[in-house]
Amino acid sequence: MFSKALFKQSCKANGTMWAIISFAVCFMLACVMLISGSDSIGTTISAVEDTIVDREITAAMEVRAINYYENEVDGMTKFDELFLSNIASETANNPTDPQKAFTAAYTKTCGEIQEYVQNKALAVNPEYTQDSAEAQEMLGSVMYAINPNGMFDEFYTSHGEELPENHIQPLIIHCLAGDVASYLKSEERSEYIAQRSEYCSAVFLAGNITKQENVDKMLVELERFGVTLEKYESFGYSYANVKKTAVNTAITYRNRLDYEIGLLGSDLSESEYANKIVQIKKDLTGDIAASLLASLPEEVSSALEEVGQINLYSLVVGSIFYKLAGLLLPIIYVIMASNNLISGQVDSGSMAYVLSTSTKRRTVVFTQAVFLICSLLCMFSLTTVTGCVCLAIVGSKVSLSYGKLILLNVGAFLVLFALSGLCFFTSCWFDRSKRSMAIGGGLSIFALVAAMLGLFGSPVIPKVVRLDALNNFNYVTVITLFDAISIIDGTLTFLWKFAVLLVIGIVGYVVGAIKFTKKDLPL
């Protein structure tokens, strides 16, 4: 079944071509892996991703700053409304003791404002509870701004902040003066609430954002983007910077809100006016605190986000080299070698000399098939070794593992095994080498070209440069069965596709061998 002499003859005839192509493939692989694994490409991708992450976090902080500001303005305004009602009733109950009336009214109002904020939180989302983090956050922002009896002074002093003006003092003064009702409804009071909310919301946000337990929670959420503590700190989210961002956001929001409200017509009904205010606030929040992705058209923003998260090294090595560029020269070798092994010898007449000896057709076809398969196996063994050496050099900078790299080499070998089965079949079928090369080689080159075109329509390419229509070429090439994405992602989808490639190659060799042993040769 196996002829050593014929095997040596095939090695001499095709050895030089095999050596040149093997060297070229290994050299290209080394260049691709070392260059794409350099810091420059990784830094570029990291910079894009970091820019997106940084802007998204900042936008989230700006939204939170506006929400705190609005929540505190609403809470303190409601506090005044409740206090005005309570001071009137308590004064009627204690006409001779204004201090007692004030204390009772203030204490009652503090309790009612807590209930008001908690109900407001439940109205925002029915799934919240009074003890939920969201409800407590809303309540906390209001109570920190009111700071009843200085109960939250430590929060301010622990961050090196000046204590806000005692919220009780202005109320006492105007209660004693007898004009508390007019004061609470005055422009002076509105300005006081706005300025106090600007300051207190910024301190509250900065204090909470920089709290270690909250930083740890954010790092857990950002881990999938490769954000470490060191990288997070490089974004500059210090207490001072967060506070500055919050203050600037609140001032911008407040001034623009006043301007937009001033443009409203006086002919609006009360309900129309209220609806307009709600819409203005929503639009301003989206405009001032717009994230980088939200500020772009949806398709562009999703494409940019995809670029930021793409594994460029795996794309270049897995989908571009092993599945395309790295197959070109081996396919040429397969076309030339399979043609030289059978049909070329039949066409030149040398097959007649081989068969004139005691060598049988079955031995010839088996030996030539073994040579072709072994030469491909040796070729990709060399690329595997080359890839592992290169990965050891750049391993700390990329996410590709040795196991995945070996599977990529196995996949590339199986593709060549399937195509070699096709070329070997045509070489056995036809007596003229030009027909064998035209059909077997033509189909093999078509498979590679279709895979190249299909790559630009496949999901592995970012949307910003993807041409979805070209994905149809992936359905007409056997190379699609080499699922590099599955290997890189760590799924097992590639297994059944590898099995199909193996079957295609075996069928090609077996059918070709049967045809050669039974057909009439022009000897």
pLDDT at 299: 46
**Structure tokens, 292:** 């980088």
Read off the pLDDT of residues 21-64 as tens digits, 9 standing for 90 and up.
Answer: 999 999 998 888 887 766 555 555 566 667 777 777 788 888 88
pLDDT at 488: 84
Cα(230)–Cα(224) distance, integer angstroms: 15
Is 186 a residue whose pLDDT tops 90?
Answer: no
Enter the pTM of the model.
0.59
DSSP code string of 447-474: HHHHHHHHHTTSTTS-TTT--GGGGGGG
Cα(40)–Cα(46) distance, integer angstroms: 10
pLDDT at 296: 40
Helix (H), strand (E) counts: the chain: 23, 0
The confidence band for 191, taking pLDDT boundaries of 50, 70 and 90, is: confident
Read off the pLDDT of residues 206-242 as tens digits, 9 standing for 90 and up.
Answer: 888 888 888 888 788 777 666 778 877 888 888 889 8
**Alpha helices (H) along 147-185:** 153-157, 168-177, 180-184
Is 384 a residue whose pLDDT tops 90?
Answer: yes
Cα(174)–Cα(170) distance, integer angstroms: 6
Read off the pLDDT of residues 326-355 as tens digits, 9 standing for 90 and up.
Answer: 899 999 999 999 999 988 888 877 887 777
Question: Locate tokens 């081989």: which residue?
Answer: 354
**Structure tokens, 231:** 């990288």
DSSP code string of 74-105: HHHHHHHHHHHHHHHHHHHH-TT-HHHHHHHH
Range name among 72-76, 207-211, 313-317, 373-377 with the lowest pLDDT average: 313-317
Range name among 79-83, 252-256, 262-266, 417-421 with the lowest pLDDT average: 262-266
DSSP code string of 218-250: HHHHHGGGT--HHHHHHTT--HHHHHHHHHHHH
pLDDT at 300: 40
- Measured at the CA of 151, the angle between CA 150 and CA 155, to 5 degrees, comes to 95
- The contacts of residue 168 (CB under 8 Å, 6+ apart) are 106, 148, 149
**Higher-confidence position of 46 and 67:** 67
Average pLDDT score over residue span 442-459: 89
Q: Hey, CA dihedral for 56, 60, 65, 70, is it positive or negative?
A: positive
Question: Locate tokens 């096709």: which residue?
Answer: 422
The residue count for the chain:
523
Q: Are 351 and 345 in contact (CB under 8 A)?
A: yes
pLDDT at 226: 65
Average pLDDT score over residue span 470-486: 89
pLDDT at 297: 42
Is 441 a residue whose pLDDT tops 80?
Answer: yes
Is 444 a residue whose pLDDT tops 70?
Answer: yes
Is 431 a residue whose pLDDT tops 50?
Answer: yes
Cα(485)–Cα(293) distance, integer angstroms: 26
pLDDT at 463: 67
Q: What is the mean pLDDT of the chain?
A: 82
